[in-house]
Amino acid sequence: MKWCRLVALAFAFLTLPLAFPAGSPVKDFTLPSATENSLIRLSDHAGKVVLINWWRTSCTLSQAEAPKLVELYKKYHAQGLDIIGISDDNTDTVASVPAYLKRYGVTWPVGLNDQGEFKRQVFPLDGQGATPGNYIVSRGGQITYLGLDRTPESWNSLVASVERALKEPVPGASPVPAYKLDSAPALELPDLQSRKVTLANFSGKPLIVNFFNAASCDWTGALLAKLHHEYAARGLQVVGIDLFDSDDAARQCAAKYHAEYPILRGDQATQMAWIGGNKGWATFFVTPDGKILKTIADSIDNGIEEPVFTKYAKYLLGTH
């Protein structure tokens, strides 16, 4: 639910407690840059006061807040304030992000919502996902949700929070350790021709592993086929794992989008090892040395998988 869409939630929101206590330890997260083929990492800003700004181009409150953020950044950046913007734009509006940033003079890093660690770990702090929402990370690595910027009073409170945080001493050790990439779980499944396939078959290649079923085939089927077509010659490998459909149903999904990459027959053990639950869709971006760079376990209506997946594919291929 978005603040700009449902203003009537204002009073109810004021009475809701935070989902996590203020000053919770923050974990590292990465996001694809909205303007470059690079990743934004929270840990790169360790020891700074970081204001995380959750916003959207079509939100009038975000538009009103942008000039204030620019002035805040100019005033306090040299004292240790960094800002990380995270766009809540969807497939209809995400193309407007670069022009929006230029219009308001935004110079800090801005990432795209990839449905990854930020959405799972930080986003629940506010309970709604309304824009424009702000979080502050202290020099010591504690994160607090500051609420919505909707009134002069709320903005003054945000500024006061920044000023207090900037007075804290810089810690001697990094308070936000860099996110450690885990090794991809084991994979040993038959393809639709009953040939055994393992991760070793793709050793040394950047890999996209997509779990799907007949109900979720359409979510990213066309996009994955496109990525395979465009980047396979450069070494990118896409692998589909169908969860519990008949071979005919899996072939129908592949044929619908002219998918020419391997389709494997999934099983519950592999589903649990990779996804950790019974979800019928998830996508993993795996480095050539077998580490999981990014886990995206949710797809949303009108999401922005195309720019997000393309940026991660290019990153895996080293074009950053």
Per this entry, what is the length of the chain? 320
Domains 7-166 and 188-316 share a fold: yes
Q: Is 73 helix (H, G, I), strand (E, B) or coil?
A: helix
pLDDT for res 28: 95
- pLDDT tens track for 264-308: 999 999 999 999 999 999 999 999 999 999 999 988 778 899 999
Q: pLDDT digits over 183-216, tens only?
A: 999 999 999 999 999 999 999 999 999 999 999 9
Does residue 264 contact residue 241 with C-beta atoms inside 8 Å? yes
CATH number belonging to domain 188-316: 3.40.30.10
Domain spans of the chain?
Answer: 7-166, 188-316
pLDDT given for residue 59 in this prediction: 95
For residue 146, give both structure tokens.
Answer: 């500051």
Using pLDDT thresholds of 50, 70 and 90, give the confidence band for residue 126: low
Give per-residue pLDDT as tens, 40-90: 999 999 999 999 999 999 999 999 999 999 999 999 999 999 999 999 999
Top CATH class of 7-166 equals: alpha beta
DSSP string, 209-278: EEEE-TTTHHHHHHHHHHHHHHHGGGT-EEEEEE-S--HHHHHHHHHHTT--S-EEE--HHHHHHHTSS-
In the structure, what pLDDT confidence band is assigned to residue 242 with cuts at 50, 70 and 90? Answer: very high
Of 319 and 179, the structure prediction assigns the larger pLDDT to 179
Torsion of CA 115, 116, 120, 125, to 10 degrees: -80
The pLDDT value recorded for residue 302 is: 83
Determine whether 163 is exposed, middle or buried from the number of CB atoms within 10 Å of its CB (0-12, 13-18, 19+). middle
pLDDT at 7 over 50: no
* Percentage of the chain exceeding pLDDT 90: 80
Q: Please tell me the pTM assigned to this model.
A: 0.90
Query: Over the stretch 12-33, which tens digit does the pLDDT of each residue have?
Result: 333 333 333 467 899 999 999 9
pLDDT of 174: 78
The dihedral over CA atoms of 249, 254, 258, 259, expressed in degrees to the nearest 10, equals -170
